[in-house]
Amino acid sequence: MTNIDVDSFRQLLEAKKNELLSGTSDRDEILIQNAAEDFDRLQQQLNREVAIRNLDRESKLLKEVQAAMTRMDEDAFGVCLRCEESIPEKRLKALPWAAYCVSCQETIDRQRAAGEVVEDDSEAFELAAA
């Protein structure tokens, strides 16, 4: 375990969580406006797709924030989930919900880009169902 100041990170995570939970502006865009003119319809559809994408990203981030807070409760915060090394405090300051150290994150990103990782495919399912 590292000697990082968990409490200060907990505050950062709480703040981020509240910010994500209170973000309601995008949700308004998702409501379909029945009375739309044809001329506006395409633009509205685009807005809606962007809003859904943002929501998708935000809900994913919210999950990551909550997972980080769970790791705090389990005294596992700041430890890479993959290699179990300490995540540098500098990285945690930039990304308090980081679950992996930089090198593991890069490996995972590379594998995802290559379509090799299937363990986290919930997002693909959600998109397919939409």
What is the contact surface with Zn ion in residues (CB under 5 A)? 80, 82-83, 101, 104
Sign of CA dihedral 40, 46, 50, 56: positive
Residue 105 CB, shortest distance to Zn ion, in Å, is 8
Q: How far is the CB of 107 from Zn ion (least distance, A)?
A: 8
Shortest distance, CB of residue 18 to Zn ion, whole angstroms? 29
- Please say which residue, 40 or 106, places its beta carbon nearer to Zn ion: 106
By C-beta, is 35 or 94 nearer to Zn ion? 94
Q: How many CA atoms lie within 13 A of 58 on its CB side?
A: 18
Tokens of 103: 């090198």
Which residue lies nearer to Zn ion by CB, 59 or 111? 111
- CB nearer to Zn ion: pick between 69 and 101: 101
What residues contact 13, with CB distance under 8 A and at least 6 apart? Answer: 65, 68, 69, 72, 96, 97
Least CB distance from residue 85 to Zn ion, whole Å?
5
Judge whether 85 and 79 are in contact, CB under 8 Å.
Answer: yes
Strand-pairing partners, residue 79, are 86
